[in-house]
A and B are shown apart, each in its own frame.
Chain A
Amino acid sequence: MRDVARDPAALELLRVQRSRLADRMRPPWWYLPGAAIVWALIFAAPFASRYLPQGDYWAIAVAALAVACLLQWGLDRATGLKVGPRPLRVLRDGLFYYRPGRPALIAILVVSLATTLTEGSLIRRGLLADAIVVAALAVAAEVALQQARLREIRRELRDGGGAA
């Protein structure tokens, strides 16, 4: 290992090292199935609020939150990188502070909101089968977006994020 950066060569070395770091950001086998379970629980909420007692609705919400936290913790541990949502940073830097993979994250939020509203509307009109189909499609879309988000994060890590 050289002791002192031989100037322009150091930048090239840094690009190679960033690429190596980005390659670690690959989800373990259980991550995407786990994400599918979380989204299934989230999109089960409109059904639960209509057909289940209030206590069961909250039990589903808590279960979804717990599995989501567990997944994020597991991903951080498996990859050795923390790039997920940081709720406390929202307090410090405001709601719109930049996170790697933000475009995909915005798409995830838009799809989840649109799905919940559509499901609610279909359930109110008694179109239960249609609501189930919408929920199933939304779970698949959210998992695909989650993959896209990880790809975006990898690309940003490779490009060096904010620095250089």
Chain B
Amino acid sequence: MTAKPDPFIHPITRLSICGLLAAGADWVEFAALRDAAGISDSVLSKQSVALEDAGYVEVRKGAVGRRPRTWFRLTAQGRQALEGHLAWLAQLEEAVSASTRDAQQARPVPADRHQPRRVPPPLLGSS
């Protein structure tokens, strides 16, 4: 798998939807996806249509009694794009933490004010 950013799933909402659909379940229901992603119904509807049009997500609509039920699944194309994007993000995370470590190491260590002052031992013969 190659680490490659995908501008289409880079927006956080789309990334969340794809990441949750790739977590291991075959199909995820609308309410479960909405609650886990922490987004509103309208945002999920809008983004899922965009992802479906791009071929990243498959949508299945049904009903239980009078209540409509919508299920989502990640397509093979969506999974491939997500894996590449997540690998790229992981590389970025690694690079950021490495540069933070380097910056901390390069900074001079400030003298500790609370450390007790070292008193030189008295010279022999002095009183």
Binding site for B on A (CB under 8 A): 1-5, 7-8, 10-11, 13-14, 17-18, 20-22, 24, 77, 79-83, 86, 89, 100, 153, 156-157, 160-164
Given contacts A18-B20, A24-B36, A163-B22, contact A10 B12 (CB under 8 A): yes
From residue B30, how far is it (CB to closest CB) to chain A in Å?
Answer: 8
In the complex the two chains form, is A162's CB within 8 Å of B15's CB?
A: no
User: What string of 1s and 0s marks CB contacts (under 8 Å) between B61-94 and chain A?
Assistant: 0001000000100000001001100110110110
From residue A90, how far is it (CB to closest CB) to chain B in Å?
Answer: 13
In the complex the two chains form, is B15's CB within 8 Å of A157's CB?
A: no
Please indicate the chain A residues that have their CB under 8 angstroms from the CB of B11 in the complex.
3-5
14 contacts between A and B (CB under 8 A): A5-B11, A8-B89, A10-B12, A11-B86, A17-B19, A18-B20, A18-B23, A20-B38, A21-B20, A77-B64, A79-B32, A82-B25, A160-B19, A161-B24
For residue B54, CB closer than 8 A to chain A, the reply is: no
In the complex the two chains form, is A100's CB within 8 Å of B39's CB?
A: no
Majority SS of interface residues in chain B? Answer: helix
In the complex the two chains form, is A81's CB within 8 Å of B32's CB?
A: yes
Cα distance A4–B8 in the bound complex, in angstroms: 11
* Residue of B whose beta carbon sits closest to that of A5: B12
From residue A61, how far is it (CB to closest CB) to chain B in Å?
Answer: 27
In the complex the two chains form, is A8's CB within 8 Å of B25's CB?
A: no
Cα distance A90–B96 in the bound complex, in angstroms: 43
In the complex the two chains form, is A17's CB within 8 Å of B12's CB?
A: no
Q: With A8-B92, A18-B23 given, name 20 new contacts (CB 8 A).
A: A1-B12, A1-B13, A3-B12, A5-B10, A5-B11, A5-B12, A7-B92, A14-B15, A18-B20, A20-B36, A21-B28, A21-B32, A21-B33, A77-B64, A79-B32, A153-B24, A157-B23, A160-B19, A161-B22, A164-B19
Please indicate the chain A residues that have their CB under 8 angstroms from the CB of B15 in the complex.
5, 10, 14
Question: For chain B, which range describes its interface: under 10, 10 to 19, 20 to 34, or 35 or more residues?
Answer: 35 or more
Given contacts A21-B20, A80-B28, A157-B23, contact A163 B89 (CB under 8 A): no
From residue A114, how far is it (CB to closest CB) to chain B in Å?
Answer: 29
From residue B75, how far is it (CB to closest CB) to chain A in Å?
Answer: 13
In the complex the two chains form, is B89's CB within 8 Å of A10's CB?
A: yes
Please indicate the chain A residues that have their CB under 8 angstroms from the CB of B96 in the complex.
7-8
Please indicate the chain B residues that have their CB under 8 angstroms from the CB of A86 in the complex.
26
For residue B29, CB closer than 8 A to chain A, the reply is: yes
From residue B78, how far is it (CB to closest CB) to chain A in Å?
Answer: 10
In the complex the two chains form, is A24's CB within 8 Å of B32's CB?
A: yes
From residue B99, how far is it (CB to closest CB) to chain A in Å?
Answer: 11
